[in-house]
Amino acid sequence: MLVKGIRDDDTSSSAESLQYEFSTIRAATDSFSNDNKLGQGGFGPVYKGKLSNGQEVAVKRLAANSGQGDLEFKNEVLLVARLEHRNLVRLLGFCFDGTERLLIYEFVPNASLDHFLFDPVKRKHLDWERRFKIIGGLARGILYLHEDSRLRIIHRDLKASNVLLDAEMNPKISDFGMARLFAMDESQGITSKIAGT
């Protein structure tokens, strides 16, 4: 298992408490309607959904040919479920049903940073003060991942499209499918696998 310092029984019990029924998520997304499609990530489409309690969610539906296998899926669930920081997108749960693999996240309303950086109209909303605050939030999130969380995590795919902006334009780092864990006493590692895009 990739996660060091976590007992197997801890991971299975916490994973079970995060599991959603496929029927619940299918209903929340109106059967994964194109009207609810927020975008297309590297591993599959992302949909907006509304749970029966009224909570809005973002659902990452992993494509069968996405390249994110069971190990990466399990890695993302176990990693993100343990992370709590205002500059990280919060994982609410997951669904693993036959060939369906879904990750259910908090819904972040302002889309990703790249929509603002590369759109001439939206770019006007990013004055230097706001950009500075976004950079500061990203730095706090990365510091938490690298130094302050229970696990040391290297994201390995940080880019503008993996930074979501909430209603107040605060940044939230997303998409931990390529993340790598380090032991608490490890400060460096070598990998031969190319990650990200």
Active-site position among 70, 157, 175, 185: 157
DSSP string, 34-86: GGGEEEEETTEEEEEEE-TTS-EEEEEE--TTSS--HHHHHHHHHHHHT---T
97 noted as active-site residue: no
Whole-number Å distance between alpha carbons of 183 and 175 = 21
Whole-number Å distance between alpha carbons of 29 and 18 = 18
Dihedral, CA atoms, 6, 104, 38, 54, nearest 10 degrees? -150
Annotated catalytic sites, by residue? 157
